[in-house]
Amino acid sequence: MAQFSFPQQTGFYRGKVRDVYTISDHFLVMVASDRISAFDVILPRPIPYKGQVLNQIAAFMLGSTRDICPNWLLEVPAPQVSIGKKCVPFRIEMVVRGNLTGHAWRTYASGKRELCGAMMPDGMKENDYFPQPIITPSTKAAEGHDEDISPREIIETGLATEKEWETLSSYAFQLFERGKAIAAKQGLILVDTKYEFGLLDGEVVLMDEIHTPDSSRYFYSDGYVERQERGERQKQLSKEFVREWLIANNFMGKEGQTVPEMTDDWVDTISKRYIELYEKVIGQAFIPQTLSDKDTHQRILAALEKLTS
């Protein structure tokens, strides 16, 4: 997708998979591209409809949680585009975990029972449910990897006040419960996810995408108990299959490694898997939409004119 230009534009940032435009230091135009990344590397070929899939899942989930807390989203003028309020972000990712999986499991398996100030009980197996969901926050690093941090350290270092932390954690737990309920209707388990918040006129506001397969891990609920009892891997709904393909082809983003060839068939397979993710997560048929750059630009301009008039 082309790089656009807008009236009163005051900033532009190109991330791994999204282009973000700042308008009048008040609004953000977020364009979800079809770029795909893994191991902190942008893969060489875009995935048709991936941007639309993630943008529309995020819009659905933000709309389904607006009664819990305010969020940044104002308009979705095009399949891959969201426009919302610019907030001052907290430099924290609120990671909520319902199951002992991923980073939490690796920490647990090493013998530790505390992660980011949250206690994990003895006697658990990988992928077991925690007695109650836990929050394991991390810092949002400007460069390099995010770092684990405890609520006490967040308050002591001034990343949030004690009152702000109480609001952030309360919102995160409520959002996770809503996400679990939405997932359960679709025969899924929301295992873990991350939320990002900011301040707008002194109010805590939910930012960015939520409950998408790029920011969350889902298990299939059918057969979960049996797989746990047999000690088998859980069936996941995420983009993990892309990472697994890269690993099988000797690529993990390390120096000297080469991204394997992405054939037309493989690109088509990834696209279809993302469409499956959409339909499974929100329970609606996916309607592919392809707009030209010109049409996308015109729709954004019209939405901005309405918002700024």
19-75, pLDDT tens digit by residue? 999 999 999 999 999 999 988 889 999 999 999 999 999 999 999 999 999 999 999
pLDDT at 1 over 80: no
Task: Single out the residue of 51, 116, 115, 101 nearest to residue 81, CA to CA.
Answer: 51
CATH topology of domain 1-90+144-309: Phosphorylase Kinase; domain 1 (3.30.200)
Distances (CA, A) of 184 to 95, 179, 189: 20, 9, 6
Q: pTM for this one?
A: 0.91
Which token pair is 235?
């069936």
Given a contact cutoff of 8 angstroms between Cβ atoms, the answer to whether 175 and 69 are in contact is: yes
User: Where do the structural domains in the chain lie, given as residue ranges?
Assistant: 1-90+144-309
Whole-number pLDDT of residue 180:
97
Give tens-digit pLDDT for 68-97: 999 999 999 999 999 999 999 999 999 999
Q: How far is CA 51 from CA 14, 78, 105, 307, in A?
A: 14, 11, 31, 23
How far apart, in Å, are the Cα atoms of 216 and each of 10, 14, 189, 236? Answer: 31, 22, 11, 11
Q: How confident is the model at residue 141 (pLDDT cuts 50, 70, 90)?
A: low
Confidence bin at 123 (pLDDT 50/70/90) = very high
Whether residue 144 is predicted with pLDDT greater than 60 in this model: the reply is no
| CA 182 – CA 210 distance, rounded (Å) | 12
